[in-house]
Structure 1
């Protein structure tokens, strides 16, 4: 299989057909890594992998499926011999306040964002421990610290993911694996387009969204640096992390941010007849 180096790792990325996952895959290949792209959209992820050349391959993966996870690892091992790094990036949201979402929409968010990622981590734990090395990178969210209106279940899934991630990292502290969790802010992806259509998600526009490539850079840099946790923006994210533990403060501050987001969203909405 050849000796591993920091310059060349085999990386399995979920949700890699578009958005942050696609940006991670593209940058990882450009940096000399080999990448197994996975996504629930088979046609899109195969097309994306083909565009990246022979250092990339693809397979379909519904992260809610334990059998699907086993097949994804087997596909990566067949193509590249091993998996050195797992990047859990796939996630979904349904916009709307909690009372307006259907029960199944609440379940969808939890089953993908939390339980699906848990299934992937548990699959990786067994396989990476057996091979004697591995690095699990969970792409979480700044909402893991902040209770945002319009994102109740999404926030809950990310709060849960952060707790799970750090708990597992502590459990495995004497083992051969490394753990990193990365918290993107609002990012310019199809999820943001979905949020644009729903005023209940206006708080997503309170600050200027990041480009997916900026998140990808943090993820790919983490492959070598192995930080414990990364927040965005570097300074403001630390302030938000602290502020999130004070719910009384959040009840005062977040309505102001939500109003700001509504104003910015209105400015960004396409004008009738202009297409922009």
Structure 2
């Protein structure tokens, strides 16, 4: 059983483990009666350009960000279909843009978007709803990790957002059930369109990377300043 406080509960989950996912669902069902929404927001990165990462680091990113989420979705599909309702959502703005310093991370998110939409089409006649949410750079421990590595400078080219802001977008999506949500709305749409044109990305992204590097240098020279 998870530790529970009011309407919240916590349990340990290695998302790479099918048995772990089953245990997590069972714990949530025991505490609350059913699982109505799955928000797949677990993810990791190893900073550095692709050629500098060890093969195990590439594998870690794919196993957690892609295969771990696939395992969670597949576990949810069976249980939510059996109960007759459920809502699944997930992802990242990097599913549209191949960012320097994030090659395997972006690949995992590209794959996750394709998986999500494929499953949604497969399950179109079932009782489940599917929303894919694409948060931008978010002020978490991962962003602090990226701050320490200049190869991830592009993460600082645009404004980052507080987790609470992303949470509000998730809650809104649970209520309205759109097919896809980009965040922030306008900039996210521009990035989604830009991601369709490789030649355009090769022109624009180095400029963004240089801007991010300048911003990162300002932030690292001013301790305690957030992005």
TM-score grouping bracket, smaller chain normalisation: over 0.9
Give the SS at the match of 1:187: coil
- Give the number of equivalent residue pairs: 225
Per the alignment, in what secondary structure is the counterpart of residue 235 of structure 1? Answer: helix
CA-CA distance at 1:193 after TM superposition: 0.3
Structure 2 counterparts to residues 128-139 of structure 1, below 5 A = 128-138=80-90
Q: Which residue of 2 aligns with 1:5?
A: none
Output the CA distance in 1 between the equivalents of 2:39 and 2:188.
Answer: 21
Structure 1 unaligned runs (5+)? 1-35, 38-45
Q: Which residue of 2 aligns with 1:115?
A: 67
2:150 maps to 1:199 = yes
Q: Which of 18, 26, 31 is matched with 1:79 structurally?
A: 31
* CA shift for structure 1 position 54: 1.2
Spell out the pairing of 1:116-265 with structure 2 (5 A cutoff).
Answer: 116-138=68-90, 140-265=91-216
Report the TM-score when normalising by structure 1.
0.79
Which residue of structure 1 lines up, in the alignment, with residue 19 of structure 2? Answer: 67
Secondary structure of 1:178's counterpart equals: strand
- In structure 2, runs of 5+ residues without a counterpart are none
Q: Give, in whole Å, the separation in 2 of the partners of 1:232 and 1:129.
A: 29
Q: Deviations over 1:11-41 (max 9, x none)?
A: xxxxxxxxxxxxxxxxxxxxxxxxx98xxxx
Displacement of 1:270 after TM fit?
3.9
SS at match of 1:236: helix
How far residue 275 of structure 1 moved from its aligned partner, in angstroms, is 6.7
Q: Which runs of 4+ in 1 moved over 3 A?
A: none
SS at structure 2 position matched to 1:180: strand
